[in-house]
């Protein structure tokens, strides 16, 4: 049989079994991030129960590639708790992501702006060493480091009622602030993948946000010697300016990808602080997923089900339609419907 016939046969078999491999779109990674903030912050009531062999989220767990831990939880958890978390995630083959502020400014209430504990998005070298060391001591590896909105909180953020003001740092200043913190995490986990989360509402009233977006990604690559590995989009619900802000930032992120300034794009699907019950929050998260991927045909690389609000109060069981893990099962059931497969 000559090479031409072999090639025809191979093409025919590929078409019979779902098409050529090069034409297939890889399935997105599924990330899960239950609320897990120290009191008085919200935390799901059954967080630690998730990390047992018979925990009732087996289907969701088998399809979850990444579990997101809040840096504040890791910093305050006991070593025994972290040992349980890491051991179970290792057993399940689920990678660890840590979401944490990385702008290296210590807590200083008199400073008037920024700083760990003053404004979100800040951290310190000492905090980084504690978090990284605790996970390593538990036998874990952090695969993803999710910087907590450094561009927004460092450059744009002004003030929330009763809280410190933003520092309005330049993009170059932000890059200088994050480098020593990231160095600590990378020294502990040499294969660490570093990216960030940023909100989409920050473009409201900003005439040159696209230029800032590009400048930030370019400055990061120049300082770190590599591009941002990913950007997870935190879409503010209810939507600012309809769906336009979210789609605009998603499109700008794709532009950064084409320039070699950004690796992957993730989208967070959740409810909002306006949702006053578990049912309302989870139903809203489902609606948001269907809106962005069903109606608007977004195809992010990472799909993230995450909460940092009082709802949902429970992560399990996945059979409960009002539990956080049920969202993973929901996505698996609607993938074909929205054309994501």
Residue 171's domain spans which residues? Answer: 25-334
Nearest to 302 by CA among 331, 275, 264: 264
> Hey, how many other C-beta atoms are within 10 angstroms of the C-beta on 229?
16
100: region left, alpha or beta (phi > 0 left; psi from -120 to 50 alpha): beta
Q: Give domain status of residue 309, yes or no.
A: yes
Q: What is the pLDDT of residue 25?
A: 56
The residue-averaged pLDDT of 1-23 equals 37
Mean residue pLDDT of the chain comes to 90
Task: Read off the pLDDT of residues 237-257 as tens digits, 9 standing for 90 and up.
Answer: 877 666 889 999 999 999 999
Q: What is the pLDDT of residue 6?
A: 40
Confidence of residue 204 (pLDDT cuts 50, 70, 90): confident
The answer on pLDDT for 19 being more than 80 is: no
Task: Read off the pLDDT of residues 137-168 as tens digits, 9 standing for 90 and up.
Answer: 999 999 999 999 999 999 999 876 666 788 89
Q: What is the pLDDT of residue 205?
A: 83
Q: Give domain status of residue 12, yes or no.
A: no
Cα angle 323, 324, 325 (rounded to 5 degrees) comes to 95
Q: How many domains does the chain have?
A: 1
CA 90 to chain centre: 20
The answer on pLDDT for 57 being more than 80 is: yes
- Tell me which of 18-27, 66-75, 178-187, 273-282 is least confident: 18-27
The per-residue b/e assignment along 91-130, b for 16 or more CB within 10 angstroms, e otherwise, is ebebbbbbbbbbbbbbeeeeeebbbbebbbbbbbeebbeb
- Tell me which of 21-30, 53-62, 217-226, 313-322 is least confident: 21-30
Q: Give domain status of residue 47, yes or no.
A: yes
Q: Give domain status of residue 5, yes or no.
A: no
Residue 100 makes CB contacts below 8 A (sequence gap 6+) with: 70, 71, 72, 74, 123, 127, 128, 131, 145, 146, 147, 148
Handedness of CA 36, 198, 306, 266 (dihedral sign): negative
Q: Give domain status of residue 255, yes or no.
A: yes
Peptide bond before residue 238 is cis, with ω within 30 degrees of 0: yes
Q: What is the pLDDT of residue 293?
A: 95
Q: Which residues pair with 68 in a beta bridge?
A: 97
The answer on pLDDT for 4 being more than 50 is: no
The per-residue b/e assignment along 320-332, b for 16 or more CB within 10 angstroms, e otherwise, is bebbbbbbbbbbe
The answer on pLDDT for 201 being more than 70 is: yes
- Tell me which of 19-28, 108-117, 260-269 is least confident: 19-28
- Residue 330 belongs to domain with CATH number: 3.20.20.60
The answer on pLDDT for 42 being more than 60 is: yes
Q: What is the DSSP string of 139-198?
A: T--EEEEEEE-HHIIIII--B-TTSPBP----HHHHHHHHHHHHHHHHHH-TT-EEEEEE
Cα angle 154, 172, 251 (rounded to 5 degrees) comes to 70
Written as six digits, the tokens of 255 are: 């532009």
Confidence of residue 61 (pLDDT cuts 50, 70, 90): very high
The residue-averaged pLDDT of 2-22 equals 37
Pairing of the two strands 228-234 and 103-104: unpaired
Q: Give domain status of residue 11, yes or no.
A: no
Q: What is the pLDDT of residue 162?
A: 64
Q: Distances in Å between the alpha carbon of 278 and those of 238, 267, 323?
A: 17, 21, 7
Is residue 232 within 8 Å of 266, Cβ to Cβ? yes
Q: Give domain status of residue 250, yes or no.
A: yes
Q: Which residues pair with 130 in a beta bridge?
A: none
Q: What is the pLDDT of residue 109?
A: 63
Q: How many residues does the chain have?
A: 341
Q: Give domain status of residue 17, yes or no.
A: no
């Amino acid at each position: 049989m000559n090479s031409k016939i072999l090639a025809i046969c191979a093409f025919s078999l590929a078409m019979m079994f779902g098409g050529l491999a090069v034409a297939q779109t890889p399935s997105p990674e599924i990330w899960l991030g239950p609320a897990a903030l120290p009191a008085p912050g919200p935390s799901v009531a059954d967080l630690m129960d998730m990390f047992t062999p018979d925990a009732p989220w087996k289907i969701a767990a088998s399809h979850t590639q990444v579990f997101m831990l809040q840096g504040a939880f890791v910093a305050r958890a006991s070593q025994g708790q972290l040992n349980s978390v890491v051991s179970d995630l290792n057993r399940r083959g689920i990678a660890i992501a840590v979401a944490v502020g990385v702008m290296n400014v210590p807590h200083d209430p008199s400073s008037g702006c920024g700083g760990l504990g003053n404004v979100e998005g800040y951290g310190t070298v000492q905090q980084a060493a504690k978090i990284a060391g605790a996970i390593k001591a538990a036998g874990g590896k952090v695969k993803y480091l999710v910087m907590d909105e450094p561009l927004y909180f460092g450059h744009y953020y002004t003030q929330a009622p009763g809280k410190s003001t933003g520092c309005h740092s330049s993009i170059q200043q932000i890059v200088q602030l994050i480098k020593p913190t990231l160095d600590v995490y990378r020294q502990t986990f040499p294969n660490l993948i570093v990216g960030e989360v940023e909100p989409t509402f920050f473009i409201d009233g900003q005439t040159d946000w696209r230029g800032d977006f590009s400048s930030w990604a370019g400055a990061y690559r120049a300082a770190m010697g590599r591009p941002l590995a990913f950007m997870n989009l935190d879409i503010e619900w209810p939507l600012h300016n309809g769906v336009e802000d979210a789609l605009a930032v998603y499109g700008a992120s794709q532009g950064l990808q084409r320039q070699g300034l950004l690796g992957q794009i993730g989208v967070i699907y959740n409810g909002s602080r306006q949702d006053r019950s578990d049912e309302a929050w989870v139903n809203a998260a489902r609606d948001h997923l269907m809106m962005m991927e069903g109606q608007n045909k977004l195809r992010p690389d990472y799909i993230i089900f995450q909460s940092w609000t009082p709802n949902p109060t429970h992560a399990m069981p996945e059979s409960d339609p009002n539990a956080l893990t049920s969202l993973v099962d929901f996505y698996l059931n609607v993938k074909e419907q929205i054309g994501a497969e």
